[in-house]
């Protein structure tokens, strides 16, 4: 999967380079074998974002895009849209992708076990009571 994600990210036009940050020698070897760039990080990081921060701190760059290795459906155009504000306005400091959609009135988002955070996921959200097998940005049918 890492090669697939790497190639999808590499297809984005707004990036000058793609680097995989990992603490796993197996992943590093695989990336090296298919010709990708990889940096080994400390094994003490708790997330991919922490590994990214370690690598970014050692680089001379203006913008860093964080894509996790478990995002095989990442659209290179989304990365281009994400990086465009930096080129348009040098004072831009951070951006994030988002999808706007209307949720069916029957859908009630859950919260985490501590009740602090709204439910979030990378996959398309869908009303669990919806009988339609089709997903729609306009809500349930």
Q: Specify whether the CB–CB gap between 48 and 21 falls below 8 A.
A: yes
| Confidence class for position 135, pLDDT limits 50, 70, 90 | very low
Q: How many residues does the chain have?
A: 141
Q: Specify whether the CB–CB gap between 98 and 133 falls below 8 A.
A: no
pLDDT tens digit string along 19-30? Answer: 999 999 999 999
pLDDT tens digit string along 94-129? Answer: 888 766 555 555 555 554 555 554 545 545 555 555
Sketch the domain layout of the chain as residue ranges. 2-88
pLDDT of residue 69: 84
Q: For the whole prediction, is pTM greater than 0.75?
A: no
Q: Specify whether the CB–CB gap between 45 and 51 falls below 8 A.
A: yes
pLDDT tens digit string along 39-82? Answer: 999 999 988 889 999 999 999 988 899 898 888 888 999 999 98
**What percent of the chain shows pLDDT beyond 90?**
46
């Amino acid at each position: 999967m890492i090669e697939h994600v790497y190639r999808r990210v590499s297809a984005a036009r707004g990036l000058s380079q793609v680097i995989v940050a990992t603490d796993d020698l197996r992943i590093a070897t695989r990336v090296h074998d298919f010709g990708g760039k990889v940096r080994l990080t400390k094994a003490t990081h708790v997330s991919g974002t922490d590994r990214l921060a370690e690598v970014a701190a050692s680089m001379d760059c203006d913008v860093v895009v964080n894509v996790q290795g478990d995002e095989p459906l990442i659209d290179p155009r989304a990365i281009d849209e994400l990086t465009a504000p930096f080129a348009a306005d040098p004072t831009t400091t951070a951006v994030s992708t988002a999808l706007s959609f209307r949720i069916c009135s029957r859908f009630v988002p859950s919260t985490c076990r501590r009740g602090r955070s709204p439910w979030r996921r990378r996959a398309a959200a869908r009303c669990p009571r919806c009988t339609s097998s089709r997903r729609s940005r306009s809500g349930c049918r």
